[in-house]
């Protein structure tokens, strides 16, 4: 296997041949390698060596890094699954999902035969459910149209597979096929913008282009997959959004943000002991590295320049997020009567398109404040006679954040008599089913609905709870966090 060979030969494998290979080097290295936002050839060599040797020592042991199959398609499939799952999702969350997935559908062929319902179940809780669907569609396409052979280059991957964008294509191509191609994700953006003091809005097209350029230019020619993973690993474990561990960074010497922060610190120390400074009477020892390009489109914008207190965290800059839409919903956990055991819960399926497409949820209605109105709305949606619902009770509130919308669920509970429950055939015209608790937990329901169900369970057991939780512990998660928490530093024993 290609990657292993490279690992064995270790640091020496870092190659200088890059000029001929890397796609965009000629446009950058020569003409403007003196730009502070780019790397010189020497710096690139240093970056590769330091980063790869750091990665070899410090990489996390993750299931998708242990794929040893000789079959190139198998390797590509595993990488594909892991990369799709890792989009917008933390590694710790993905590990279990990945292992379950690979056990359920060990190969592309196995996945292609799966149906969307089981995919949604397996994806339940991961979020961004269209990813699972696209993965299925992709697998079906590879099996039916390409005779089970994965496209072999980043370009083809991006073009031919649904749900595979520029990043995922680069990841699969470099990790599974050893293609010399760089990649850019959120981690890489952060690393690049700090290393090269790129303070412009990181979502602008020309800035994105620069990130891709840097990635293509620096990627190691012998171990592209490892280099790309090392970059992301660095961003995920060392060069983190908050509290980066600069002292552990293997490429600190190349970091312009770090240099600037350090020189700030020294000058502020000098300010405090101003008397001493007068005696030594020297020029400042550290000269700030400044970009010489007038109106440089990659530097920190003039209207919000370097902020001393932020230090390295000055980079990267992102546009202010538009305020997230709020939506309030009354969610009703409808249960069969107590006499019947085990009791069953009514769930309905979401529409085929839109948010959480095809997932199952508890019935809900919006903007009704009174019990009577909610009860009525439920009756209408279920197409049962009004007035037969009793015991509607509010039990709590749960909130769930999606990337673009903030849902506030008011949780209600309701018991439905048998003669009525068997009549419910649809909810707002959508399919419904009655499930037991264990079936519910297995079903394709979203994290928000799991929270609702947990709230429901809590309301049942609350009076008997023996251990007293510290009720006063209300940890306010301020969206603009300004205060670190003790648990960021000290971990549970």
| From 101-109, 310-318, 345-353, 354-362, span contacting other proteins (CB under 8 A) | 310-318
Residue closer to other proteins by CB (options 272, 292) is 272
**Residue given tokens 């990488």 in the structure block:** 79
User: What is the torsional sign of CA 162, 165, 168, 169?
Assistant: positive
Query: Which structure tokens are listed for 458?
Result: 């809590």
Binding of residue 490 to other proteins (CB under 8 A):
yes
Closest approach of other proteins to the CB of residue 219, in Å: 21
Closest approach of other proteins to the CB of residue 484, in Å: 4
| From 120-128, 209-217, 381-389, 470-478, span contacting other proteins (CB under 8 A) | 470-478
Which of 8, 66, 353, 470 binds other proteins (CB under 8 A)? It is: 470
Binding of residue 243 to other proteins (CB under 8 A):
yes
How many whole angstroms separate alpha carbon 346 and alpha carbon 337? 12
Give the alpha-carbon dihedral of 357, 362, 365, 367, to 10 degrees. -100
**For the chain, what is the radius of gyration of the CA atoms?**
28
Interface with other proteins: number of residues (CB under 8 A): 50
How many whole angstroms separate alpha carbon 162 and alpha carbon 160? 7
Closest approach of other proteins to the CB of residue 483, in Å: 6
Binding of residue 491 to other proteins (CB under 8 A):
yes
Closest approach of other proteins to the CB of residue 37, in Å: 20
Q: What is the DSSP string of 248-266?
A: G-TTGGG-HHHHHHHHHHH
Q: So which residues are the catalytic ones?
A: 83
Which of 42, 205, 272, 353 binds other proteins (CB under 8 A)? It is: 272
Residue 446: CB atoms within 10 A of its CB come to 24
Which of 153, 240, 263, 376 binds other proteins (CB under 8 A)? It is: 240
Residue closer to other proteins by CB (options 90, 370) is 90
Which of 7, 186, 393, 436 binds other proteins (CB under 8 A)? It is: 186
Binding of residue 322 to other proteins (CB under 8 A):
no
Q: How many residues does the chain have?
A: 493
Q: Which of 125, 70, 74 is nearest to 97 (CA)?
A: 125
| From 107-115, 233-241, 348-356, 372-380, span contacting other proteins (CB under 8 A) | 233-241
How many whole angstroms separate alpha carbon 204 and alpha carbon 481? 25
| From 95-103, 148-156, 263-271, 376-384, span contacting other proteins (CB under 8 A) | 263-271
Which of 11, 269, 289, 401 binds other proteins (CB under 8 A)? It is: 269
Binding of residue 476 to other proteins (CB under 8 A):
yes
**Residue given tokens 């010489």 in the structure block:** 292
Residue closer to other proteins by CB (options 309, 338) is 309
Helix (H) or strand (E) holding 112: helix 108-112
Binding of residue 92 to other proteins (CB under 8 A):
no
Which of 276, 286, 289, 405 binds other proteins (CB under 8 A)? It is: 276
Query: Which structure tokens are listed for 239?
Result: 């060069």
Residue closer to other proteins by CB (options 35, 237) is 237
How many whole angstroms separate alpha carbon 176 and alpha carbon 387? 61
Which of 158, 185, 220, 233 binds other proteins (CB under 8 A)? It is: 185
* Contact (Cβ atoms closer than 8 angstroms) between residue 260 and residue 306: yes
Beta bridge partners of 365: 330
**Residue 482: C-alpha distances to residues 105, 183, 194, 312, 477 (Å):** 44, 32, 21, 16, 10
In the shown chain, the binding pattern of residues 379 to 398 toward other proteins, with x for contact by CB under 8 A and - for none, equals: --------------------
Binding of residue 477 to other proteins (CB under 8 A):
no
Q: Which of 67, 132, 48, 146 is nearest to 97 (CA)?
A: 132
Of residues 290-309, those binding other proteins (CB under 8 A): 307, 309
The pair phi, psi for residue 415, each rounded to 5°, is -110, 140
Query: Which structure tokens are listed for 24?
Result: 């965009």
Chain residues binding other proteins by CB under 8 A are: 88-90, 185-187, 190, 236, 240-243, 245, 265, 268-269, 272-273, 275-276, 307, 309-310, 313, 318, 321, 466-470, 472-476, 480-493
């Amino acid at each position: 296997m290609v990657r292993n060979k490279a690992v064995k030969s270790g640091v020496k494998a870092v190659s200088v041949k890059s000029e001929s290979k890397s796609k965009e080097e000629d446009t950058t290295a020569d003409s403007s390698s003196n730009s502070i936002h780019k790397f010189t050839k020497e710096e690139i060599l240093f970056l590769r060596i330091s980063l790869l040797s750091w990665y070899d020592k410090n990489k996390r042991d993750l299931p998708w890094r242990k794929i040893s199959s000789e079959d190139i398609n198998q390797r590509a499939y595993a990488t594909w699954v892991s990369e799709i799952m890792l989009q917008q999702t933390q590694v710790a969350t993905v590990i279990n999902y990945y292992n379950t997935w690979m056990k359920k559908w060990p190969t592309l062929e196995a996945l292609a035969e799966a149906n969307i319902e089981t995919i949604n179940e397996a994806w339940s809780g991961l979020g961004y459910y269209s990813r699972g669907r696209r993965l299925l569609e992709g697998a079906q396409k590879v099996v039916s149209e390409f005779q089970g052979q994965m496209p072999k280059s980043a370009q083809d991957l991006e073009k031919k597979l649904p749900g595979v964008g520029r990043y995922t294509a680069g990841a699969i191509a470099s990790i599974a096929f050893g293609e010399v191609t760089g990649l850019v994700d959120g981690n890489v953006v952060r690393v690049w913008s700090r290393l090269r003091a790129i303070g412009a809005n990181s979502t602008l097209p020309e800035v994105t282009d620069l990130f891709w350029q840097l990635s293509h230019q620096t990627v190691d020619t012998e171990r592209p997959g490892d280099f790309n993973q090392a970059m992301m690993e660095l961003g995920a474990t060392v060069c983190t959004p908050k509290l980066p561990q600069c002292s552990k960074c293997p490429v600190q010497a190349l970091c312009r943000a770090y240099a600037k922060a350090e020189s700030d610190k020294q000058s502020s120390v000098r300010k405090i002991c101003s008397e001493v400074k007068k005696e030594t009477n020297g020029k400042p020892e550290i000269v700030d590295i400044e970009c010489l390009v007038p109106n440089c489109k990659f530097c920190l914008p003039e209207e919000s320049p370097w902020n001393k207190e932020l230090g390295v965290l000055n980079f990267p800059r992102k546009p202010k997020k538009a305020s997230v839409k709020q939506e309030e919903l009354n969610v009703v956990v409808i249960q069969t009567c107590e006499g019947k055991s085990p009791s069953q819960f009514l769930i309905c399926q979401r529409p085929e398109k839109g948010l959480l497409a095809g997932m199952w949820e508890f019935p809900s209605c919006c903007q009704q404040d009174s019990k009577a109105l909610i009860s009525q709305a439920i009756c209408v949606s279920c197409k049962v006679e009004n007035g037969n619902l009793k015991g509607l009770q509010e039990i709590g509130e749960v909130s769930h954040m999606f990337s673009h919308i903030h849902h506030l669920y008011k949780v209600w509970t309701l018991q439905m008599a048998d003669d009525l429950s068997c009549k419910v055939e649809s909810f707002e015209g959508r399919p419904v089913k009655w499930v037991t608790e264990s079936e519910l937990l297995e079903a394709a329901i979203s994290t928000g609905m799991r929270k609702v169900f947990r709230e429901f369970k809590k309301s049942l057991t609350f009076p008997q709870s023996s251990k007293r939780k510290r009720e006063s512990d209300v940890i306010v998660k301020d969206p603009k966090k300004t205060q670190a928490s003790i648990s960021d530093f000290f971990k549970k024993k």
